Amino acid sequence: MDQKSLTVGVLGPKGSYTEQAALCYFKDCAIIDNYLSPQDIIEDVSRLVIDYGVVPVENSIQGGVASTIDALIKYRVNIVGEIVLPINHVLAAHPKAEFFRRVLSHEQALNQCKDYLKAEYPHCALEPTASTSLAAKIVSEKEIADALVICSEHAAKTYKLKIIAKHIASTNNNETRFFVIGNSTAKPTVHDKTSIVFGLIDRPGALYDALGVFKKYEINLTRIESRPTKKKLGDYLFIIDFEGHKDNEIIKKALEELSSATTFIKILGSYGIA
């Protein structure tokens, strides 16, 4: 399919890191940037409203994105790809700005850049917004001349803000992993990863037995996370990423054996990795 005809849902507004990830993956597509949550994107993919969605699933500093995981468990969609995007915050402002009284950005970005702000702009009040790109949009469209913005360079250029400083975060290893969500199944590649979710019987050693299946078949786990079932306190589901494609014979055997040690298994998708 011609990528230009594809509709891809991302977290908005225009200029978001999610949009940047989508453009890295699809190169050329019709971006739908009016989504406020990963669940809304994943739901619209499941309803065939859009062809694909790009959603954040994990950040190297903040950890997993719970709303994405919960929606993947809830809706019948497939993970068909992933993008790992370096998160490089910049400090920007309206071109007419000459003095600053406040800093607008997402709460996480404000926290990730707090050392820089404390050293360079200790007098500025911090004003959280729903996203970094929304902060850039507000300052640009309202021509706010007394505010700084923490956002991506992509957002600063999108809204024609002047960049004052780059790489202002306290850590240099800030990366976000995004899933590409669709209704198709990705074919095996040279390097693949599979994501699954499963439940366990409440008994001693249940998780140990489940994980032992991966050791038996020498399958490398790359991530494990638990999420509450929302049924009762202490009842959890486990989300696991591991190397290999679900159509590989060894993976098939492992998943078949895993089914005997779990109450249910849902394959969230197999997808190629860079």
Q: Which sequence positions are flagged as catalytic?
A: 176, 178
Closest by Cα among 223, 218, 228, 217 to 257: 217
Find all residues with CB under 8 Å of 238, minimum gap 6, and list them.
197, 198, 199, 200, 207, 210, 224, 225, 226, 227
Do 175 and 86 form a contact (C-beta atoms < 8 A)? yes
User: 17-26 and 132-141 helices cross at what angle (nearest 10)?
Assistant: 110
Closest-CA residue to 127 (of 140, 141, 117) = 117
Per the structure block, which two tokens stand in for 49?
A: 């409203």
H or E element in which residue 125 lies? strand 125-129
Residues 6+ apart with CB under 8 A from 242: 193, 194, 196, 214, 219, 220, 221, 222
Output b/e per residue, 110-126; b: 16+ Cβ within 10 A: bbbbeebbeeebeebeb
CB 188 within 8 A of CB 230: no
